[in-house]
Structure 1
Amino acid sequence: MAFWSRVSQKLRRMLSRPASADLTRYEELLPRIGELEPELEKLSDAELTERAAAVRETERTDTELLIEVCALGREAARRALGERAFDVQLLGTMGLLTGHVVQMATGEGKTLAGALAAAGYALQGKRVHVISVNDYLARRDAEWMRPVYDLLGVSVGWVEPALTAEERRAAYHREVCYGAVSEIGFDVLRDRLVTSVEDLTQPEPEVAIVDEADSVLVDEARVPLVMAGSVDAGVADQEVANIVRRLRVGLHYETDPDGRNAWLTPAGASVVEKALGGIDLYAEEGSDRLAAVNAALHAHALLTRDVDYLVRDGKVQLINASRGRVAELQRWPDGLQAAVEAKEQLPPSDHGEILDSITVQALIARYPQVAGMTGTAVAVAEQLREFYELEVAVIPPNTPMIREDLPHRVYATPRHKLRAIVEEIRKVHETGRPILVGTQDVAESEELAEKLRKAGLSCVVLNARNDAEEAAVIAGAGAYGAITVSTQMAGRGTDIRLGGADGADAERVAELGGLHVIGTARYPSSRLDDQLRGRAGRQGDPGSSVFFASLGDELVLAHAPDVPEGIPSDEDTGEITDAAAHRQINHAQRVAEGVDLEIHRNTWRYTRLIEHQRAELLRFRDEVLRTDAGATLLQEAVPDRYSELSESLDAETLRRVCREIVLFHLDQLWADHLAFLTEVRETIHLRALAKETPLDEFHRTAIPAFRKIRDELEKRSAKTLVEAEITDEGIDLARAGVRRPTSTWTYLVQDNPFDSDAEQALKKVRSMLRKKRS
């Protein structure tokens, strides 16, 4: 009987939760964990810490370790936070400790489950990075869970942009360190530029627990993290910006449906050439101005203030589209950055060169052990398996979810939709229920807030402009009568309590129906829709959600613009009830998801070779950094000069000089190689037109170029050692032309540096050529 019960249970799991790992093994351990509870409750805090320390000392089987860690973690959380971990949270902890991505619904306690798993790894002697989507969540969770870690005798820290190098080093050397994926990634890149072992901030990576794993591992993976260094003052072409500002779309320039590219029409080129004094933009002598015009056109036509960027404190600040937050210390590549600054009539920032880059996929691949947690993993289970070899484990909710997800409401135009959203908010607000409205960007959040104010409805806005107030805004979002309008900032990692921060009105709000979530448009991913919905109905609370959409939304126009004709709409409200409209919007979202997946795949196809080359170079760099390899190389390259210097300098100074020279040229050659590969990428489709596939051509070009680095390194380093003035103090790097950047920042590169559309166009051209030949 028990056998058939287990078979039935597995069959139900397979049917209802595709791509889910079997939890039976962990479920069978729960009674044994519970049996330890009375015993641990009798221990003093000091004895509990000692018992946790004993885990470090003893060899245990995997099963015994899971039981002990979960029992200790549950007791530590009960004492430190007043929260006894539910069985489902312990299932999540065990899933993380065995290397799964666990899917847990909103409000089910992922943060605690992640902390207990991190502590479990730490008690095994492993250093853990808990990787989050943003700095706010990293700091919040580290501070929130610190009392639990303290009771278990585990040290914890976090990294954020404001920390000094020394503070970062201290945080990374704690047993558990929380940090945003970008912050940890950029620290990896900074460590690749140091010239002394003492300047390294990160120890060797061991375990990564990825919070909001689908966002970090899938959404963020499309855009590499790029480190740039200051070279000289930037130059803005204000003349070109003023000319482009007067151009009209459809007449002087056109854009593609995706909003990724813009180009001049013949009429536009004529107007620009005349305004620039009659030059020929497409002749060789006009190439520099053409590049400036193209950058200015991109800034003018494709980048929108308060959507793609803010202007704050006299500077352009980029907005991370997948998070709705300001991207700290991030810029577009130089020409585009300068063009946006000229568009906004701001002084230009420093010009820079790319020093290094890393993809999220390569960043995660550094960790021998990886696990993750999110509320929406099943939807990307295949991608997690394909790119990271991770399996999903779906954890059942502790309390059945009773949130009511209302049918989507579709309108003919965005104007009709906006009017309906304001009316929906007014109607629900009259009941006293709290309302959370999720918008697509800063501009939309502020436009809706203005409409609500005109309608006599007071609201709080949360977007990239006031991200510092995030905690306070979220804390009050579940209060009686509250209206909160937010970008995607409120879509992940936030837990909105009914009744407000103190939960005083929780019962009153629950009786009214709980939090009502409104989406002002469908997101490019169904997972983002689900994340927004998940703000309501936490832990069995009542709640509801509804999404509004229109056939004029950006999602539809970009990914499914061919709307079937004859779809009827209500004359007064513009609402559409025809199923064809709903199918069109669903289709647009699926196309958007497909585009993003192809971008991820395409990026990885090309960067796989770069990552292999980088790994090889880093092995040599690390050898130079930690040993006398630099001195050995130069001693063999220029023995006379080396012998001469060894007579006037002490051995340590000479080794340090050689190390600094070799590392400088190695880093410079790698930066030059990356710049070359960027140029190859941008022209690869033309190079490959009549030959092989773009990827094969990229490899054919990149591999020989990389092999030349070692010989060129020896030549440049030897030349510097021979020509530089070297004293007992060492080498004056600046005077020797060995000048490192004075500051660094990060670049936001375009979503798809290897545009699959271009590859598709290339295939069509090849097909036409083959037909002509035949």
Structure 2
Amino acid sequence: MARVGEWIRRFLDKPGSVDLAPFQRIVAEAGELESEVARRADLRPATADPGWVGSADFCAVMREAARRSLGQRPYDVQLVGMLAMLDGHVVQMATGEGKTLVGALTAAGFALRGVRVHAVSVNDYLAGRDAEWMGPLYETLGLTAGWIAETSSPEERRAAYACDVTYGAVSELGFDVLRDRLRTDPAELVVPAPEVALVDEADSVLVDEARVPLVLAGAADPGTALPEMAALVRRLSRGYHYTIDEEGRSVFLTPKGTDTVEKALGIDLYEHPGVVTQVNLALHAHALLTRDVDYIVRDGRVHLINTSRGRVAVLQRWPDGLQAAVEAKEHLPASETGEILDSLTVQSLIRRYPRVCGMTGTAIAVAEQLREFYDLRVAVIPPNKPCVRVDEPDRIFATLEDKERALLEEIETRHATGQPILVGTLDVAESERLAEALKAKGLDAAVLNAKNDAEEAQIIAKAGRRDAITVSTQMAGRGTDIRLGAGDPDEEREVAALGGLYVIGTGRHESSRLDDQLRGRAGRQGDPGGSVFFVSGEDTLLTAYAPDQSLPAAGRDGLVRDPNAAALVAHAQRVAEGVNLEIHRNTWRYTRLQERQRAEVLERRDRVLYGDTGARALEQARPERYRELCEEAGEEAVERAARQIVLYHLDRCWTEHLGFLADLREGIHLRALGRLNPLDEFNREAVPAYREMLDEVERRSTETFEKADVTRDLAEQGLKRPTATWTYLVQDNPFGSEWDRVLKRVAGALKRRKR
């Protein structure tokens, strides 16, 4: 009957319905070849036959290569995962199943087919760790592997990209692509043509960070938010001077607040729109962004926190005005700002690759998005050993106070038995408050959050020991395993007898995947373990996404025992996931046109960069001038100058067009008030603006060509590029655009009505 059920799921193309049977048959055949392959002196294939990759002999060779080079014999399920990825799927594998090795085996398989592989990681640490750890495997197979980091020089990057397999953080891969888009000499290019992207933590990269724009900026300007604005808004009171909307995404001055600000500044606000912008930015930073929740301050700088991973969002910042406003709020100097020369979303970066595959512990929950945005399907790989973790029902309380009291009691009771405990909190501030509350009870907890992420490996290494209490944000060792007894066999048996690692969540996340990732810290490779979530009716999830509904009555201990309470929590989480999916879809609808235009611009740019298209266009537009300059300086010098002129104006006009599109999108929601479709209106204006941009490139190039002295440096003749460029990721306005906020309200209302 189980097989019939699987067949029906595949027929209906349900998430996770990829048929594993063909892969399992190949792996079974590989098992029969194991002893014969073990006798081979050299495991490198005699011929580069792409058809050999994926065969039983190939699987047996990969298993033996891993055993010889790493001392690890891949399980059958790991080889099944490898074959599923080689077939172009995202594989879901549980915590502790050895995804790092599966990724390396897959990358080697693609490389043996003769294609270049970019192993996309979430950060520099994991990219470097995996490249070095798996290096001996590649060497055994006659392949090369390299990795790029934020500190890598252009020469080091070229060397890494020249390898068969290149490991790199998604941000670094994207920044290299952006920098290459401004090169004016083919010899300076760093990134080769994209072929295969193998994405680790695929749900995080392909979904959670899909909308994150990677930015290349230049021509620094001073920040727009002034310290005096930050000082002014500190004196304002919520409810009297300003109000916050129900979603907590926007803040508005009341009439009294407007009067107070105008008196303090001595101006009429509405006659000074620039000042209005500064006041609004300062107010947003003051009222809506919370230190140790949305960001931390470390080493005299503001560091954003990645909400899906609980880590510092390296190189990430808000749009310049808001970034400067937060820095002013924290009495810090404004960081450098400037003009965006080009940008690229993570989703657009990954879609450049003709072939994409990936792996993660939680893919089914985002299978719809993986299919919709990347045409990827999910293959669910069974665990090597059955999971015996006990996942308890949520404990739901009426108030936050009741929840926190019960949470401390539960930790105290569990700790008394010696069972190791991992407590997952929703933000940095909560992790620190909980650690202080435990300390007051005489309990010492190791705290792992964005403030001490450098100590992650040491903290996680001890989290499975007897008596350990670890309080962590969502970062909780993703990419690493918590081993019972920290690897000591005697202590491992002792901890297993106590029930293994016990995971406690202090609240439900907006995404069920993040809850599942936290649960997945326990129960690795058949280990015992348990998990439970504590929830209250005052948690943000319920107040933001189910504001019109309240929990059933609680008992005298504050615990809500009515089964409808769990249904309400699940409903709020579904609303949150639905809203975020709709915002993702909406972002992609707008980005899609921009990406098509960018692709056309890059195609034109390549024709100019690699050929004589620029020179021929200018010769056709101004034949007499072209002949005159050739007689003066020679045709080669004129062609070189023509290339620089056209590239400069193409890049300059594209930068201006990006600015126009950003302004257009930010204000497009107002068209909805006139019953117009904002997306149609966006396209209606963006398409002719793009054609006008191309005409402007031609006009400016011709004008410069008429005046230019091709024997002199063109930078001194008005074609000077930014003397310095820098890269960063923009956290899209955390409050969403106005149109995103409209979507959020509408989506929430519709889901409540359906319920």
TM-score (norm 2): 0.94
Q: Which residue of structure 1 lines up, in the alignment, with residue 158 of structure 2?
A: 169
Say whether residues 1:748 and 2:728 are aligned partners: no
Amino acid at match of 1:568: A
Shift of 1:737: 4.8
C-alpha distance in 2 between matches for 1:645 and 1:762: 62
Amino acid at match of 1:445: S
- Note if contact 1:476-1:501 (Cα within 8 Å) is conserved in structure 2: no
Q: Which residue of structure 2 lines up, in the alignment, with residue 555 of structure 1?
A: 541
Distance 1:657 1:443, change over 3 A: farther
C-alpha distance in 1 between matches for 2:590 and 2:199: 25
- Note if contact 1:102-1:393 (Cα within 8 Å) is conserved in structure 2: yes
C-alpha distance in 2 between matches for 1:16 and 1:685: 36
- 71-80 or 182-191, larger mean C-alpha shift: 182-191
- 489-498 or 77-86, larger mean C-alpha shift: 489-498
Secondary structure class of the residue paired with 1:490: coil
Q: How does 1:222-371 map to 2 (within 5 A)?
A: 222-277=211-266, 279-282=267-270, 285-371=271-357
Shift of 1:434: 1.8
Q: Which residue of structure 1 lines up, in the alignment, with residue 704 of structure 2?
A: 720
Q: How does 1:339-418 map to 2 (within 5 A)?
A: 339-418=325-404
Secondary structure class of the residue paired with 1:535: coil
- 688-697 or 6-15, larger mean C-alpha shift: 6-15
C-alpha distance in 1 between matches for 2:581 and 2:126: 26
- Note if contact 1:222-1:599 (Cα within 8 Å) is conserved in structure 2: no
C-alpha distance in 2 between matches for 1:763 and 1:461: 37
C-alpha distance in 1 between matches for 2:337 and 2:28: 62
**Per-residue displacement from partner, 1:351-406 (whole Å, max 9, x unpaired)?**
31122222232222111111111111112222211111111111111111100111
C-alpha distance in 1 between matches for 2:11 and 2:477: 29
Q: Which residue of structure 1 lines up, in the alignment, with residue 553 of structure 2?
A: 568
Q: Which residue of structure 1 lines up, in the alignment, with residue 22 of structure 2?
A: 25
Amino acid at match of 1:116: L
- Note if contact 2:225-2:278 (Cα within 8 Å) is conserved in structure 1: no
Amino acid at match of 2:200: D
Secondary structure class of the residue paired with 1:153: coil
Shift of 1:594: 0.4
- Note if contact 2:245-2:251 (Cα within 8 Å) is conserved in structure 1: yes
Say whether residues 1:442 and 2:428 are aligned partners: yes
- 333-342 or 685-694, larger mean C-alpha shift: 685-694
- Note if contact 1:405-1:546 (Cα within 8 Å) is conserved in structure 2: yes
Pairing partner for 2:173 from 184, 207, 218: 184
C-alpha distance in 2 between matches for 1:14 and 1:520: 40
Secondary structure class of the residue paired with 1:443: helix
Alpha-carbon RMSD across the aligned residues, in angstroms, is 2.5
- Note if contact 1:89-1:108 (Cα within 8 Å) is conserved in structure 2: yes
Count of residue correspondences: 746
- Note if contact 1:399-1:540 (Cα within 8 Å) is conserved in structure 2: yes
Shift of 1:197: 1.6
**Per-residue displacement from partner, 1:64-96 (whole Å, max 9, x unpaired)?**
633233211111111222211111111101100
- 232-241 or 642-651, larger mean C-alpha shift: 642-651
Q: How does 1:48-87 map to 2 (within 5 A)?
A: 48=43, 52-56=44-48, 58=49, 60=51, 65-87=54-76
**Per-residue displacement from partner, 1:408-453 (whole Å, max 9, x unpaired)?**
1122222332232222222222222222111111111122122222
Q: How does 1:725-736 map to 2 (within 5 A)?
A: 726-727=710-711, 731-733=713-715, 736=718
Secondary structure class of the residue paired with 1:436: strand
C-alpha distance in 1 between matches for 2:531 and 2:94: 15
Q: Which residue of structure 2 lines up, in the alignment, with residue 456 of structure 1?
A: 442
C-alpha distance in 2 between matches for 1:598 and 1:299: 26
- Note if contact 1:231-1:741 (Cα within 8 Å) is conserved in structure 2: no
- Note if contact 1:631-1:659 (Cα within 8 Å) is conserved in structure 2: yes
Q: Which residue of structure 2 lines up, in the alignment, with residue 35 of structure 1?
A: 32
- Note if contact 1:229-1:353 (Cα within 8 Å) is conserved in structure 2: yes
Amino acid at match of 2:162: H
C-alpha distance in 2 between matches for 1:354 and 1:12: 47
C-alpha distance in 2 between matches for 1:95 and 1:699: 39
Say whether residues 1:198 and 2:184 are aligned partners: no
Q: How does 1:609-648 map to 2 (within 5 A)?
A: 609-648=593-632
Shift of 1:744: 1.4
Amino acid at match of 1:525: S
- Note if contact 2:403-2:534 (Cα within 8 Å) is conserved in structure 1: yes
Distance 1:469 1:637, change over 3 A: farther
Secondary structure class of the residue paired with 1:683: helix
Q: Which residue of structure 2 lines up, in the alignment, with residue 492 of structure 1?
A: 478
C-alpha distance in 2 between matches for 1:8 and 1:272: 66
Q: Which residue of structure 1 lines up, in the alignment, with residue 82 of structure 2?
A: 93
Shift of 1:680: 0.8
Shift of 1:16: 13
C-alpha distance in 1 between matches for 2:608 and 2:10: 53
C-alpha distance in 2 between matches for 1:526 and 1:759: 21
- Note if contact 1:240-1:296 (Cα within 8 Å) is conserved in structure 2: yes
Secondary structure class of the residue paired with 1:433: coil
- Note if contact 2:424-2:503 (Cα within 8 Å) is conserved in structure 1: yes
Secondary structure class of the residue paired with 1:755: helix
C-alpha distance in 2 between matches for 1:708 and 1:494: 52
- Note if contact 1:341-1:347 (Cα within 8 Å) is conserved in structure 2: yes
Q: How does 1:136-151 map to 2 (within 5 A)?
A: 136-151=125-140
- Note if contact 1:569-1:577 (Cα within 8 Å) is conserved in structure 2: yes
- Note if contact 1:229-1:742 (Cα within 8 Å) is conserved in structure 2: yes
C-alpha distance in 2 between matches for 1:210 and 1:702: 33
C-alpha distance in 2 between matches for 1:344 and 1:459: 29
- 88-97 or 314-323, larger mean C-alpha shift: 314-323
C-alpha distance in 1 between matches for 2:12 and 2:608: 55
C-alpha distance in 2 between matches for 1:215 and 1:733: 42
Secondary structure class of the residue paired with 2:146: strand
Pairing partner for 2:105 from 104, 111, 116: 116
- 350-359 or 745-754, larger mean C-alpha shift: 745-754
Shift of 1:661: 2.6
Task: Specify every segment of 5 or more residues in structure 1 that has no aligned partner in the other structure, as ranges.
Answer: 765-774
- Note if contact 1:66-1:94 (Cα within 8 Å) is conserved in structure 2: no
Pairing partner for 1:468 from 445, 454, 478: 454
**Per-residue displacement from partner, 1:708-729 (whole Å, max 9, x unpaired)?**
12221122223334445554xx
Secondary structure class of the residue paired with 1:316: strand
C-alpha distance in 2 between matches for 1:355 and 1:391: 35
C-alpha distance in 2 between matches for 1:276 and 1:421: 48
Say whether residues 1:709 and 2:706 are aligned partners: no
Distance 1:637 1:415, change over 3 A: farther
Shift of 1:685: 2.2
Q: Which residue of structure 1 lines up, in the alignment, with residue 752 of structure 2?
A: none
- Note if contact 1:104-1:396 (Cα within 8 Å) is conserved in structure 2: yes
Q: Which residue of structure 2 lines up, in the alignment, with residue 586 of structure 1?
A: 570
- 111-120 or 219-228, larger mean C-alpha shift: 219-228
- Note if contact 2:310-2:474 (Cα within 8 Å) is conserved in structure 1: yes
Secondary structure class of the residue paired with 2:535: strand
- Note if contact 2:456-2:477 (Cα within 8 Å) is conserved in structure 1: no
Distance 1:18 1:758, change over 3 A: closer
Secondary structure class of the residue paired with 1:201: coil
C-alpha distance in 2 between matches for 1:17 and 1:506: 39
- 505-514 or 630-639, larger mean C-alpha shift: 630-639
Secondary structure class of the residue paired with 1:708: helix
Secondary structure class of the residue paired with 1:210: strand
Secondary structure class of the residue paired with 2:40: coil
Q: Which residue of structure 2 lines up, in the alignment, with residue 772 of structure 1?
A: none
Say whether residues 1:684 and 2:668 are aligned partners: yes
- Note if contact 1:496-1:535 (Cα within 8 Å) is conserved in structure 2: yes
Pairing partner for 2:523 from 532, 537, 543: 537
C-alpha distance in 1 between matches for 2:221 and 2:740: 34
Distance 1:14 1:43, change over 3 A: same
Pairing partner for 1:221 from 187, 210, 228: 210
- Note if contact 1:516-1:536 (Cα within 8 Å) is conserved in structure 2: yes
